[in-house]
């Protein structure tokens, strides 16, 4: 095996798609490079696939489906368990590659791989549950129960910011339910995805059950979504792309699960421990260079502590050390690319034009090794009003805005003004205020005395409003995305019994 054949041009490793149990290049022979955003170095080349490669992968998945769905779920789960064990063994290697491929610092990259490990073990356990339930029938001598059934071929499309965790949230549950998969990873992080798929092959997954096709979204992703044999699409990425795919799936009558953007907020009340809140907010706002769907991008602070919190945050932010995430002294790595960096900077300019006050940051970080990569200085705005674009739109970079509120009610109202609804948090020692916030905040995840990031795999993950379309990843709830309910009635009366009609 292996996902690479030799060396690409210039001595770089050339990786391959995995289709029907074979490692194979794009039919067109085209390739694309994966680039380290901290150094500009090319890490490897991958197939720049086209619709014909998607066709081959979907056919392989469709061909493998009938036998895979008949493998008992506990046996399917044993293979997934072995994948999780292999992830444990290769955690450090994969984390280092992740830091190189998309920039997050090594500590966080280890966490990303750990999340995939957690998901593997969690879902492997579900292979022995996949519970349905029995129900009494309204007729005598008749049994009734319901059980889960797989759907067929699943198309999985993922972003680059959690290159191991997010694919694991989708691939493990899709497979344990008995589906087969065609996986299209983000163009910024194909190497991690290919390495992940290798582990399934090593763990003994039969050919065709999991296939990967690398290439750009508008070519590979569109072809995957449109393919008539793909029954379900599971997408994580921007709201713009997700809603477009949802339209296509709607026309085709397909199920689609969407995990999309966020504009996550933290409320800080006057009784909060500001020292610890500062730690948590810095971690939430600038971890992964702010490129988390759950990143804290709005801080809604009570007027009584606004000045003190702003000063604390600014001091801590200015002290953050930018650099290559492989270096132990680095606090914040690069953003994923110069394209992303320019988008972030445009928002900073918009914020200034809108009249927000730039407290710190606000430009490309330069000097020494930083000149080679895509580094943006962690940025804080204050005097931000809820109607400003920087308070409403997802920036997806190391930029956080401070807004003032005079009461808990006003703070909660500002949180809920967002068109997104992924994650929110509140810092307070007042249990009553915390409980009211939990009741009234309209997001899929609420934290108390914790930043907006840090979800655990065995709880449902997802958001309200334009963050999602009602599905959840994580928790047992994810099984609903990848299975269909089948109701079963067994009549052992030996005669015709008519539901709703024979009442005596
Ligand atoms: P994106 O541009 O929407 O891309 C996501 C995935 O969709 C990538 O694999 C992309 O491929 C693919 N894609 C793009 N256009 C497509 C098309 N026309 N048809 C099919 N697939 C297409 O998002 P991103 O920049 O990678 O990720 C950042 C976004 O993801 C942010 O909005 C963030 O909030 C969100 N996110 C949400 C969650 C959550 O759970 N709610 C978690 C993480 C991230 P290419 O890479 O080839 O363009």
| Distances in whole angstroms, Cα of residue 462 to Cα of each of 126, 266, 417 | 20, 17, 18
389 Cβ neighbours under 8 A, 6+ residues apart: 347, 350, 351, 354
Residue 141 banded pLDDT, cuts 50, 70, 90: very high
Residue 3 pLDDT greater than 60, yes or no: no
Active site residue 417: no
Q: What are phi and psi of 58, to 5 degrees?
A: -65, -40
Residue 287 banded pLDDT, cuts 50, 70, 90: very high
Q: Span 146-156, mean pLDDT? A: 98
CA distance 358 to 89: 45
Residue 503 banded pLDDT, cuts 50, 70, 90: confident
Q: Identify the residues whose C-beta falls under 6 Å from ligand 1.
A: 157-162, 166, 184, 186-187, 216-218, 221-222, 225, 236-238, 241, 245, 259-262, 293, 394, 396, 422, 463, 467
CA of 405 to the centre of ligand 1 (A): 33
With beta carbons less than 8 A apart as the criterion, state whether 233 and 245 touch: yes
Active site residue 293: yes
Maximum Cα interatomic distance, the chain, rounded to a whole number of Å: 87
The total number of residues shown for the chain amounts to 504
> What's the confidence (pLDDT) of residue 12?
66
Residue 8 pLDDT greater than 60, yes or no: no
CA distance 246 to 214: 21
Does residue 235 sit in helix, strand or coil?
strand
Q: Span 289-313, mean pLDDT? A: 98
With beta carbons less than 8 A apart as the criterion, state whether 396 and 442 touch: no
222 CA closest ligand 1 atom index:
19
CA of 368 to the centre of ligand 1 (A): 32
Residue 164 pLDDT greater than 70, yes or no: yes
pLDDT in tens, 227-278: 999 999 999 999 999 999 999 999 999 999 999 999 999 999 999 999 999 9
Query: Mind spelling out the 3-state secondary structure of 327-356?
Result: CCCCCECCCCCHHHHHHHHHHHHHHHHHCC
Q: Which position among 101, 198, 259, 473 bears the catalytic label?
A: 259
Determine the residue of 51, 101, 155, 217 to mutate for testing ligand 1's pocket, defined as the one with the most ligand atoms within 8 A of the Cβ atom: 217
193 Cβ neighbours under 8 A, 6+ residues apart: 158, 163, 167, 183, 185, 186, 212, 214
Residue 1 banded pLDDT, cuts 50, 70, 90: very low
Query: Mind spelling out the 3-state secondary structure of 3-27?
Result: CEEEECHHHCEEECEEECCEEECCC
Residue 462 pLDDT greater than 60, yes or no: yes
Residue 213 banded pLDDT, cuts 50, 70, 90: very high
Q: Span 195-205, mean pLDDT? A: 98
241 CA closest ligand 1 atom index:
3
- Ranges of beta strands (E only) in 321-478 are 357-360, 379-382, 399-405, 420-421, 423-427, 445-448, 464-465
> What's the confidence (pLDDT) of residue 2?
54
Which residue, judged by its Cα, is nearest atom 39 of ligand 1? Answer: 259
CA of 159 to the centre of ligand 1 (A): 4
Does residue 477 sit in helix, strand or coil?
helix
Structural domains in the chain plus CATH codes: 4-260+468-486 (3.40.605.10), 264-448 (3.40.309.10)
> What's the confidence (pLDDT) of residue 9?
46
Does residue 476 sit in helix, strand or coil?
helix
With beta carbons less than 8 A apart as the criterion, state whether 263 and 299 touch: no
CA distance 364 to 322: 11
329 Cβ neighbours under 8 A, 6+ residues apart: 321, 323
CA of 181 to the centre of ligand 1 (A): 18
CA distance 472 to 482: 11
Does residue 188 sit in helix, strand or coil?
coil
CA distance 478 to 460: 7
Residue 103 pLDDT greater than 70, yes or no: yes
pLDDT in tens, 327-350: 999 999 999 999 999 999 999 999
Q: Average per-residue pLDDT in the chain?
A: 96
pTM here is: 0.97
Q: Span 362-386, mean pLDDT? A: 97
CA of 238 to the centre of ligand 1 (A): 5
Angle, alpha carbons 124-126-130 (nearest 5°) = 140
Residue 7 pLDDT greater than 80, yes or no: no
Q: Percentage of the chain with pLDDT > 70?
A: 98
Centroid of chain to Cα 283: 18
CA distance 310 to 111: 29
């Amino acid at each position: 095996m292996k996902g690479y054949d030799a060396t690409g041009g210039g001595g770089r490793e050339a990786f391959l798609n995995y289709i029907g149990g074979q490692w194979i290049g794009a039919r067109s022979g085209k390739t694309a490079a994966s680039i380290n955003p901290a150094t500009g170095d090319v890490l490897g080349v991958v197939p720049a696939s086209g619709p014909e490669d998607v066709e081959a992968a979907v056919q392989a998945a469709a061909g493998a489906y009938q036998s895979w769905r008949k493998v008992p779920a506990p046996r399917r789960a044993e293979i997934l368990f072995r994948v999780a064990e292999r992830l444990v063994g290769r955690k450090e290697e994969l984390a280092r590659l992740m830091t190189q491929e998309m920039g997050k610092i090594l500590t966080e990259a280890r966490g990303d791989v750990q999340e995939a490990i957690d998901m593997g073990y969690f879902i492997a356990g579900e292979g022995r549950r996949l519970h349905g339930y029995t129900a009494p029938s309204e007729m005598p001598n008749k049994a009734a129960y319901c059980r889960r059934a797989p759907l067929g071929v699943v198309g999985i499309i993922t972003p680059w910011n959690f290159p191991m965790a997010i694919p694991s949230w989708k691939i493990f549950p899709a497979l344990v339910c008995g589906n087969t998969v065609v996986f299209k990873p983000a163009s910024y992080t194909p190497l991690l995805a290919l390495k992940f798929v290798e582990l399934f092959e090593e763990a003994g997954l039969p050919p065709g059950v999991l296939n990967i096709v690398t290439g750009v979204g508008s070519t590979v992703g569109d072809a995957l979504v449109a393919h008539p044999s793909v029954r379900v699409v599971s997408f994580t990425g921007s709201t713009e792309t997700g809603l477009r795919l949802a339209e296509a799936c709607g026309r085709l009558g397909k199920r689609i699960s969407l995990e999309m953007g966020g504009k996550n907020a933290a409320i800080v009340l006057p009784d909060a421990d500001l020292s610890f809140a500062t730690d948590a907010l810095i971690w939430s706002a600038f971890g992964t260079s702010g490129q988390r769907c759950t990143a804290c991008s709005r801080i809604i602070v009570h007027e009584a502590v606004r000045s003190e919190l702003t000063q604390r945050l600014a001091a801590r932010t200015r002290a953050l050390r930018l650099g290559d995430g492989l270096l132990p002294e680095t606090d914040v790595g690069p953003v994923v690319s110069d394209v992303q960096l320019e988008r972030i900077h445009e928002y900073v300019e918009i914020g200034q034009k809108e009249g927000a006050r730039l407290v710190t940051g606000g430009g490309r970080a330069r000097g020494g090794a930083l000149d080679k990569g895509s580094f943006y200085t962690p940025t804080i705005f204050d005097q931000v009003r809820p109607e400003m674009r920087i308070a409403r739109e997802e920036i997806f970079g190391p930029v956080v805005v401070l807004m003032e509120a005079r009461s808990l009610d006003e703070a909660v109202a500002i949180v809920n003004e967002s068109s997104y609804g992924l994650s929110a948090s509140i810092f307070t020692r007042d249990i009553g205020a915390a409980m009211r916030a939990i009741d009234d905040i309209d997001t899929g995840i609420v934290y108390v005395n914790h930043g907006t990031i840090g979800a655990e795999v065995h709880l449902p993950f997802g958001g309200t409003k334009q963050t999602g379309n009602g599905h959840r990843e994580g928790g047992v709830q994810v099984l609903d995305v990848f299975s269909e309910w089948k109701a079963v009635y067994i009549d052992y009366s030996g005669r015709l019994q008519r539901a709703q009609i024979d009442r005596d």
